Structure 1
Amino acid sequence: MHPAALAGATLGRLAHHAVSGLVGAALLRGASKAAPKAKPATRKAVVGGLAGGIVAARWLGSAAEEARLKAGDMLAEARSSLGEEAPPPSAVDIGGHDHDHEH
């Protein structure tokens, strides 16, 4: 890349960050002035968003576990159709379990 092009790209990025920083600062200043009026509504919206995120994370965890179990069932069925014996779930190697507490 030509040094002038590199310098131009760098200056362009710096200008972009400076302008976006000024716009962000202006938005924060405006938001902080409006915060005393909108604080309860904003807090309620944030708490609602977090609660929705928790519910979504639980649903995703449940869906992932269900998918894992179904995949395991299909794998066991495929092995049995080949005449192989599927290992029991307890035969899964849990290597890397090296912290110091007793089970």
Structure 2
Amino acid sequence: MHPLALASATAGKLAHYAVSGVVGGLLIKYLPEAKPAARKAVVGGIANGIVAGRWLASAAEEARLKAGDMLAEARTTLGEEVPPPSAVTVDDHGHEH
């Protein structure tokens, strides 16, 4: 995986979890006392946070795929054989399952 795509995906997940945690903490503390309009606003904010998190994850995956395509094209230009995307090498990790 390209380092930029990995960093982007990690940042998106961290932002999602941070916002969810803060909002969740505020909900537990203040929501029972909140007025219906405030509650509706908080729920809408959480919904928008979920949508933003999904968008960030989608953008990170798209960046990862584009980086992989460019890497494959560069290898082809050099005359190297490009492994298929599903080719995964698994190292022996020294124990049985």
**TM-score, structure 1 length as denominator?**
0.53
Give the root-mean-square deviation of aligned CA atoms. Answer: 2.3
Q: Secondary structure at the match of 1:90?
A: coil
Identity %: 75
The aligned residue for residue 14 of structure 1 is: none
**Bigger helix share:** 1
The aligned residue for residue 84 of structure 1 is: 80
**1:68–1:49 CA distance, 2 compared to 1 (3 A):** same
Listed as ranges, the gaps of 5+ residues in structure 1 are 1-31
**How many residues are treated as equivalent by the alignment?**
63
**TM-score, structure 2 length as denominator?**
0.56
Runs of 4 or more above 6 Å deviation: none
Which has the higher relative contact order, 1 or 2, with Cα contacts under 8 A spaced 6 or more apart?
2
Listed as ranges, the gaps of 5+ residues in structure 2 are 1-29
The aligned residue for residue 47 of structure 1 is: 43
Greater C-alpha radius of gyration:
1
The aligned residue for residue 68 of structure 1 is: 64
